[in-house]
Amino acid sequence: MRTDPLFQPVVSEARATRSVSLTFNDQPLTVPAGISVAAALLMSGISRFRATPVSESPRAPYCMMGVCFECLVDIDGVPNRQSCLIEVADNMRIRSQEGARDLICQPMNVRTVEVQS
Amino acid sequence: MSQDRHKVVQSDVIVVGGGLVGAAVAYGLARGGVDTVILDQGDNAFRASRGNFGLVWVQGKGHDLPDYARWTRSSASRWPAFAQAMMADSGVDVQLKQPGGFHMCFSDKELLERQARLQTLQDTLGDYPFEMLDAADLKARLPLIGPAVIGASYTAQDGHVNPLKLLRALHTSAQAKGAQLRSSVEVDRIDCAPGEFRVKAGQRCFVAPRIVLAAGLGNPALAQQVGLYAPVAPNRGQVLISERVRPFLDYPTINVRQTDEGTVQLGDSMEEVGLDDGTSTEVLAAIAKRGVATFPLLRDVRLVRAWGALRVLSPDGLPIYQQSSKYPGAFVVTCHSGVTLAAAHAQRITPWVMGGPRPDELKVFSGDRFLTDKVFSHAH
Amino acid sequence: MNHESVDVVVIGAGAAGMAAATRMAGLGLQVVLLDEQGSPGGQIYRGITLAPLSRRDLLGPDYAHGNQLAQALTSSSVRYEKGASVWQVTRDHQVSYLREGHLYTLDAKAVLLATGAMERPFPIVGWTLPGVMSAGAAQILLKSSGLAPSEPLVLAGCGPLLYLLGWQYLRAGVTIKALVDTTRPEDYWRARRHLLTALRAWPYLRKGLELMRSLRSAGIAQFTGAEQLAVEGEEEAQALTFSVSGKAHRIATRCVLLHQGVVPNIQFSQALRARHVWDLDQLCFRPVTDPWGELDVPGVYIAGDGAGIGGAQAAAVQGQLAALGIAARLMTIGTAERDEQARPLRVQLESSLRIRPFLDALYQPKEQNRIPADEVMVCRCEEVTAGELRSFVALGCAGPNQAKSFGRCGMGPCQGRMCGLTVTEVIAKARGVSADEVGYYRIRPPIKPITLGELAGE
């Protein structure tokens, strides 16, 4: 669910020269190249990254440096990835991490990214 | 909490050791209305109870000593009622599940050895149902099993529990029934007089007519002081725990189980490395490899923590239960299957400690069985 | 698993790591520098090599200084491996890491931990809601992505980083709705005995005063002596509530940035079972080292904020001192030469640490924000509250490891990073003993997660 973005580019910065297209829960997003997935989601209006396994509470990044493990999302079929440590890439498919990962309903070893026509 | 300084604490029984064995014995005593004090070490003690796998495991045990099989089964069959009692007394659900368990085999030789072992038990005990499964049978029961597993043994008697919740349930229940816990206690010595044991720990002193030593690796030194011989030594098992995963494995297996919280636990190894509860990359890798061979879908699951746990192992791997003949009223209770035997410890040890007859199966578990002529001269 | 022998492994490419690695390479040692980020700089100099000039200007001269360290690193013979996630360091100097899906192990003659600091947890009601972040997190978004909050935000807590961020936001034209400071008059009073020493660090002090003056004259709503901080909201942050002198306040906002200082990241040093002590000024555990940064684990050194909070300049100097210590240990230089080269560094170090006692006293985090009320979540991963933790103590838990086994706190993915200090202090207070006596979580590998397949070597 998208809301008004919590973060936006600082006005004084020149626009990034390259953009990247990816999806979050199947919604297409266009973000600057070179930033982390967590930063990309925050600037795109995503304020809920996951639901906790214990109580399904909504969570979002807290520390942005790989310490808090709150920014976990599913990237290209691999669950529970620390999105603040991963750079955005074209055609990335990002999904919110809804509780504990599911081994059975998930294809194993999904590493290749389908190229969208 | 600086209680007991310069004060003598009196009770009916002192239990030395607040791990799974000590807490289970204390719970049984307290439930029986016995005034019990539990003495426990501090936060950084070795604590076998924090390291174990959580299996309530019957199959294969006692193949070389039928009484061990009998004692184990008597505990497993009492476990459901035991879990309910703890739930009622503490409000903690220890998540007991006894759906039966699998012991995986990766070669024909292993499978044959396994069959022989279980057959021996069936021949000796009479009533010992088990199944040997080949790869196809196994696949039908556990669809996610990997191709490297060529077969397994299964018995319906096996199960698992949440060992940490068990420890908490035991402590809560024991205290709810009036047992008192003293933590951060290091026992300096035990003075024995007829009908009275005085435990000195720093400036604290605990007195009771009966004492149960359930101090794990601390037992050898303490046992000596009450005329008992309990030569247990550390044996390291390394354990891996994963991130939480949605339920995919209902059955416990000897090396892989999924906990009630969804984490996947993998073990186990046996090493004699003294008091070293660290881990080694080679062993961790071997455990991971076997886990992935068993259930290939575990390949992409993340390891979150690994530890070494020091089992309390006697020279023959079997428990030690004995009352001191030199100082009657002093008991040693030690084993490496503190989870499986918890029900028996809570329910069948109490009458014996309080002066009743020793349970039949325990006759063969005296510590004296390890005494040779050579050793005897040093023991007392 | 691939094994390789090297002279020295440095973990962390922040100020300390970059300075140390560069210096050791200059002394002829074969150095491998491992860092999990994609570019050097650690946290203080995060993104320094990638930041456009306008951003460097915005962030201020102290940040820009990091570029010198990064350039020196690049021109050195240090083998710098980025995107390397170290999951284990053993007492006999084996460093295992994950890089691009493969595990590697380096057998080193010496290891330098330079993994720096992390934000002190700020456990208050609602701190787990989306929209609540640490000030450090916001600063990282600024440094590495050029992002700032898009709507009026609230800065809450105390400490130089909070005010620095505010100043940087002002320069960037970002609207700060309020600065809610927990500092009280008593704090100034307590800090006064360090004032003379602080005055000897006049340049730093002056910078700070100017920064505060800019904030003050910017027309932001400012509150001091704030207590009872809490974040209101259901699915995300909606407001920050607090009280000042008994009067209740509520500021509506979707973005709450909390800060009450940074603390050493002790995951590796604890996993190595190095000796740590509770620092009574900084209210955190830090490892015990000799003057060269060596732990009581022979051949393992630590430099920078991971050894005790001192800031980026001190970190770079400590890195160089550790470099000398290691070089002497490996007999690349003699002890006389080591001491000779260390002399000017020790002077520099003393100078850069001069301001610390004053800052530590003035911005000491408040007890109610370290030892929270029963309802506050202490362990975010496993969702354990302070009240539950206290109930374990009542059951007989003497320390964090027993508490962990009773209630799972500290067992989640972050493995105690976000709750460790809080748990120690809650237990210490409940038992009426010192934090040193209570101790800390037993930290175990993997320090960063690896998959079972990666571990199995498949």
Q: Looking at the structure, tell me whether residues B47 and B146 fall in a common domain.
A: no
**Alpha-carbon separation of residue B267 from B252, B291, C92 (angstroms):** 12, 8, 24
Residue A107 has pLDDT above 60, yes or no: no
Q: Which amino acid is at C266?
A: I
Average pLDDT over residues C133-141: 97
Within an 8 Å CB–CB cutoff, is residue A110 touching chain C?
A: no
C174 touches chain A (CB under 8 A): yes
- Is residue A83 within 8 A of residue C395, CB to CB? The reply is no
Choose the closest CB to B43 out of C88, C398, C444: C398
Q: What is the pLDDT of residues A48-94, one digit of tens each?
A: 999 999 999 999 999 999 999 999 999 999 999 999 999 999 999 99
Q: Which residues of B touch C450 (CB under 8 A)?
A: 302-303
With the C-alpha atoms ordered C214, C215, C220, C221, is the resulting torsion angle positive or negative?
negative
Model pLDDT, residue A15: 66
List the subunits that have 3+ CB pairs under 8 angstroms with B.
A, C
Is the predicted pLDDT of residue C300 greater than 80, yes or no? yes
**C225, two tokens:** 């002596």
- Give me the residue from C36, C147, C381 closest to A42, CB to CB: C147
Structural domain boundaries of chain A? Answer: 19-98
In a domain, B256, yes or no: yes
C172/C58 Cα distance (integer angstroms): 7
Distance CA B196, CA B14 (A): 11
pLDDT of residue B42: 80
Bridge-based pairing state of the strands C102-113 and C300-302 = parallel
Rounded mean pLDDT, B24-29: 98
Contact across the interface for B262 and A53, Cβ inside 8 Å: yes
**Partner-chain residue, chosen from C43, C136, C146, that has the shortest CB–CB distance to A13:** C146
Q: What is the pLDDT of residues B344-371, one digit of tens each?
A: 999 999 999 999 999 999 999 999 999 9
Q: Say what percent of chain C tops pLDDT 90.
A: 89
Which residues in chain B have Cβ-Cβ distances shorter than 8 Å to C390?
none
pLDDT at C91: 96
C-alpha of B98 from chain center: 17
Q: What is the pLDDT of residues B186-211, one digit of tens each?
A: 999 999 998 999 999 999 999 999 99
In C36-101, the DSSP E strands lie at 79-82, 85-89, 94-99
Q: Determine, for residues A11 and C173 on separate chains, whether the beta-carbon distance falls below 8 Å.
A: yes
Q: Check if the beta carbon of residue C308 is closer than 8 Å to that of residue C118.
A: no
Q: Which residues of B touch A108 (CB under 8 A)?
A: 296-297, 299-300
Q: Answer whether C130's CB lies under 8 Å from C319's CB.
A: no
Secondary-structure breakdown of chain A: helix, strand, coil percentages, each rounded to the nearest 5: 10, 35, 60
Q: How confident is the model at residue A111 (pLDDT cuts 50, 70, 90)?
A: very low
Examine the pLDDT at A110 and tell me if it is beyond 80.
no
B225 part of a folded domain: yes
| Predicted confidence band of residue A16 (pLDDT cuts 50, 70, 90) | low
- Beta-sheet strands, E only, within C28-150: 31-35, 79-82, 85-89, 94-99, 102-113, 117-119, 132-134, 147-149
Please determine, for residue B378, whether its predicted confidence score (pLDDT) is greater than 50.
no
- Which structure tokens are listed for C283? 């209210």
Q: Which of B313, B336, B359 is the last residue of a domain?
A: B313
pLDDT (mean) for C138-146: 93
Both structure tokens of B283: 């062993």
Q: Which residues of C fall within a CB distance of 8 Å from A5?
A: 150
Is the Cβ–Cβ distance between B90 and B176 less than 8 Å?
yes
Contact (CB<8Å) A8/C129: no
Q: What's at A52, amino acid-wise?
A: T
Say if C2-118+263-333 and C371-438 have the same CATH topology: no
| Model confidence pLDDT, tens digit, residues C247-294 | 999 999 999 999 999 999 999 999 999 999 999 999 999 999 999 999
Which of C6, C14, C7 minimizes the C-alpha distance to C114?
Answer: C14
**Mind telling me how many Å the CA of A115 is from chain C's nearest CA?**
21
CATH number of C121-260: 3.50.50.60
Minimum distance, in Å, between the CA of residue A82 and any CA atom of chain B = 12
Same domain, residue pair B171 and B214: yes
Nearest chain B Cα distance for residue A2, angstroms: 27
Q: A3, A11, A13: best mutation site toward chain C, by most C Cβ within 10 Å?
A: A13
Q: What is the least distance, in Å, from the CA of C444 to any CA of chain B?
A: 6
B32 touching chain A per CB within 8 A: no
pLDDT for res C64: 85
| C contacts of A7 (beta carbons < 8 Å) | 141, 147-150
Domain of B189, CATH number, reads 3.50.50.60
Please identify, in words, the CATH class of the domain defined by A19-98: alpha beta
- Measured in angstroms, the CA of A111 and the nearest CA of chain B are apart by 11
Interface touch B304/C453, C-beta < 8 Å: no
Query: Chains near A, with 3+ CB pairs < 8 A?
Result: B, C
Chain C CB contacts of A32 below 8 Å: 145
End-to-end Cα, chain B, rounded Å: 37
Single-letter code of the amino acid located at B163: P
- Per the CB < 8 Å rule, is A11 touching C37? no
The whole-angstrom separation of Cα B195 and Cα C448 is 55
CA distance B88 to chain C (A): 17
- Calculate mean pLDDT across residues C14-39: 97
Q: Indicate if the alpha-carbon torsion angle C258, C264, C265, C267 is positive or negative.
A: negative
Mutate to test the interface with A, among C39, C53, C147, C418 (most CBs of A within 10 A): C147
Interface B–C counts its CB contacts (< 8 A) at 111
Structure tokens of B24?
């289970």
Interface contact C399-B305, CB threshold 8 A:
no
- CA B306/CA C450 separation, integer angstroms: 11
Residue B31, pLDDT > 90, answer: yes
Count CB pairs under 8 A between chains A and B: 34
Contacts of C88 in chain B (CB under 8 A): 281
- Which positions in chain C touch A57 (Cβ < 8 Å)? 128, 383
Average pLDDT over residues C391-419: 93
Q: How far apart are CA B266 and CA B290, in angstroms?
A: 9
Q: Of B49, B92, B96, B50, nearest to B76 (Cα)? A: B96
Residue B89 falls within a domain, yes or no? no
- In CATH, which of 1.10.10.1100, 2.60.40.10, 1.10.260.40, 3.30.70.890 is domain C371-438? 1.10.10.1100
Q: Which H/E stretch holds residue C248? A: strand C247-252
In this complex, do A102 and B301 lie within 8 Å of one another by their Cβ atoms?
no
Are C457 and B172 in contact (CB < 8 Å)?
no
Q: Name chain C contacts of B44, Cβ cutoff 8 Å.
A: 399, 401, 439, 442
Residues C99-119 have pLDDT tens digits of 998 999 999 999 999 999 999
CA distance B337 to C210: 66
Minimum CA–CA partner of B246 in chain A: A102
The model's pTM is 0.93
Same structural domain, B141 and B258:
no
Determine, yes or no, domain membership for B64.
Answer: no
Chain B (292-321) residues lying within 8 Å, Cβ to Cβ, of chain A? 296-302
Name the band, by pLDDT with cuts 50, 70 and 90, for residue A106: low
A51 touches C at CB < 8 Å? no
Contacts of C118 in chain A (CB under 8 A): 63, 65, 67
ipTM value: 0.94
* Contact call for C148 and A35, based on CB within 8 A: no
Share of chain B above pLDDT 90, in %: 89
The answer on B43 and B171 residing in a single domain is: yes
- Band (B282; pLDDT cuts 50, 70, 90): very high
Q: Taking CA C188 as the corner, what is the angle to CA C185 and CA C189, rounded to the nearest 5 degrees?
A: 90
Query: Scanning every residue of chain B, which has its alpha carbon at the shortest distance from the alpha carbon of A52?
Result: B244
Tokens representing C214? Answer: 């800019």
Quote the mean pLDDT of chain B: 93
Q: Is C58 on the interface with A (CB under 8 A)?
A: yes
Cβ-based contacts of C262 with chain A (< 8 Å):
none
pLDDT at C61: 85
Q: 3.30.1950.10, 3.90.1520.10, 3.50.50.60, 3.30.70.240: which CATH number matches C2-118+263-333?
A: 3.50.50.60
C-alpha distance from C94 to closest chain B C-alpha (Å): 10
> Are the beta carbons of A67 and C265 separated by less than 8 Å?
yes
Do B221 and B269 lie in a common domain? no
Number of independent structural domains in chain B: 3
Beta bridge partners of C11: C34, C113
Are A59 and C55 within 8 A, CB to CB?
no
How many residues are recorded in chain B?
380
Query: How far apart are alpha carbons B247 and C297 in whole angstroms?
Result: 41
Is there a contact between B28 and B177 (Cβ–Cβ < 8 Å)? no
Q: How far is B62 from chain C (nearest CA, A)?
A: 30
- Over residues B293-337, the pLDDT tens digits come to 999 999 999 999 999 989 999 999 999 999 999 999 999 999 999
Counting every residue written for chain C, the total comes to 458
Domain holding B279, by residue range, is 233-313
Query: What does the pLDDT average to over B58-65?
Result: 95
Q: Which residues of A touch C54 (CB under 8 A)?
A: 12-14
Residues C43, C47, C53, C55, CA torsion sign: negative
Share of chain B above pLDDT 70, in %: 96
- Judge whether A3 is closer than 8 Å to chain B, CB to CB: no
Mutate to test the interface with B, among C443, C452, C454 (most CBs of B within 10 A): C452
Which residues does chain B have within 8 Å of residue C407's beta carbon, measured at their own beta carbons?
Answer: 168
Q: Kindly list the residues from chain C whose CB atom is less than 8 angstroms away from the CB atom of residue B288.
A: 452-453, 455-456
Q: Determine contact, residues C6/C106, Cβ cutoff 8 Å.
A: yes
Domain residue spans of chain C: 2-118+263-333, 121-260, 371-438
